[in-house]
Structure 1
Amino acid sequence: MYTKEQFSLPLPAMRDFVRAKSFGVLATHHAGEVFTSPLPIDLRETADGELFVAGHVARANGMSAVFETGAPATITVLGPDTYVPAEWFGTRSRIPTWLYCAVEISGRLELSDDTRKRADVEVLIDRLQRDAVPGSTWTLDEIPAHLSEEYLKHIVGYRLLDLRLTSCFRLNQGKGGIESLADALRSAGDSARRELADLTLAPPTADADPTPAPPTAGPDRSAS
């Protein structure tokens, strides 16, 4: 993923962003074919502090055949995004642009056996249940055994190992018109834009400049 230092999050922030979303697009390549699948993902770490992703796909998904090969793969996790017209900067002398938030996770795939697959599914469900329903004690064991076994039989588990995380939170850093932009985003009546309004005022990126440059009529050359 193309990015710049001023658009990059520190590793703890990338980890928290991915865990908050827990959903992304897994992409890999094998035998001349590109496979992509939108999937729930679980970014975790070992006792030694090594990050890994645990996940699964439907057995009928052609991607599942790739897991045994140890192929490289990438997961893209997207946050809020929006088109920004020139007027939102409080001027008509700005090139329209796009604000967006994304984290990319690259690594190598490893097939999970049935024991690890079930354990990973249970860990993911437990975390998401508690996030969605405070105090939830629901587990996979509440489903009749023959139904849960049938479900598990029809999925294939994987782990993504040896991870490299990159990020691009493109939030108008270092440019003018931030207050005007934030006001326009807030008034747009869209939850993603309201979230972006707060992010533009206080970017979580590693090298965020709290004092933006004055407005310029020149082209926005950082667009990608």
Structure 2
Amino acid sequence: MYTKDQFSVSLPVMCDFVRAKSFGVLATYHDGTVHTSPLPVDLRAAQDGELFVAGHVARANDMAEAFAAQPPATITVLGPDTYVPAEWFGTRSRIPTWLYCAVEISGRLELSDAARTRADVVQLIDRLQKRTVDGSTWSLGEIPEKLAEGHLKNIVGFRLRDLTFKSCFRLNQRKGETESLAEALGAEADSARRELAGLVLDPPTAHAE
């Protein structure tokens, strides 16, 4: 991913962004083919503090064959984005552009066995349940074991290790006409554009550590 210093955020901000979205596109290359797959993304820290991503794909997904070879891979997590016409800058002398937020996580794929895959799925569900439903106590254990095992047999788990991070929060930094742009974005019905209105006024890149 191409980026510049003014579009980059700190590692803690990237981690918060990825955990808030918890969904991205995994891409890898194996046996002459580029494989991509949208999937849940669970960014976690090991006991020694090392960051890794736990995830899974359908067993029928051709990408699953690549995991045993431990190929390099990248996960892209996207946030809000929008096309910006010249008029939104309050002038007709600006080139239209695109605003977006994205984090890339690159590393080495590592195949998970059945026990680790189940543990990772349970932990992912627990985190997302509690975040999505106030006071949720639902767990995988509420599904009949045969049904749960059937679902788990149909997926292949992996972990992405040895991570490197890149970010690009392209929010009109250093371009001017910020207030006009934010006002135009905030007036739109689209939720992504309204979210970008706040980010344009106070980009997270300004708080990089």
Q: 1: CA distance between counterparts of 2:197 and 2:88?
A: 11
- Kept in 2, the 8 Å contact 1:110–1:158? The answer is yes
- Kept in 2, the 8 Å contact 1:5–1:206? The answer is no
Q: How big is the shift at 1:207?
A: 6.8
Secondary structure in 1 aligned to 2:91? Answer: coil
Q: Which residue of 2 aligns with 1:211?
A: none
Cα deviation per residue 1:173-210 (whole Å; 9 max; x = unaligned)? 011100000000001111000000000000001578xx
Matched, 1:135 2:108: no
Secondary structure in 2 aligned to 1:123? Answer: helix
Q: 2: CA distance between counterparts of 1:70 and 1:206?
A: 37
Cα deviation per residue 1:15-43 (whole Å; 9 max; x = unaligned)? 00000000000000011100000001100
Q: 1: CA distance between counterparts of 2:36 and 2:180?
A: 38
Matched, 1:41 2:21: no
Q: Which residue of 2 aligns with 1:182?
A: 182
Matched, 1:54 2:54: yes
Cα deviation per residue 1:63-88 (whole Å; 9 max; x = unaligned)? 00001001000000000000001110
Q: Which blocks of at least 5 consecutive residues in structure 2 are unaligned? A: none
Matched, 1:6 2:6: yes
Secondary structure in 2 aligned to 1:205? Answer: helix
Higher helix share: 2
What RMSD, in angstroms, separates the aligned Cα atoms of the two structures?
A: 0.9
TM-score calculated relative to the size of structure 2: 0.98
Secondary structure in 2 aligned to 1:94? Answer: coil
Q: Which blocks of at least 5 consecutive residues in structure 1 are unaligned? A: 209-224
Q: Give the counterpart letter for 1:120 in structure 2.
A: D
Q: Give the counterpart letter for 1:91 in structure 2.
A: T
Matched, 1:72 2:72: yes
Q: Give the counterpart letter for 1:204 in structure 2.
A: P
Q: Give the counterpart letter for 2:75 in structure 1.
A: I
Q: How many residues align?
A: 208
User: Which runs of at least 4 in structure 1 moved beyond 3 Å after TM superposition?
Assistant: none
Identity %: 74
Q: Which residue of 1 aligns with 2:193?
A: 193
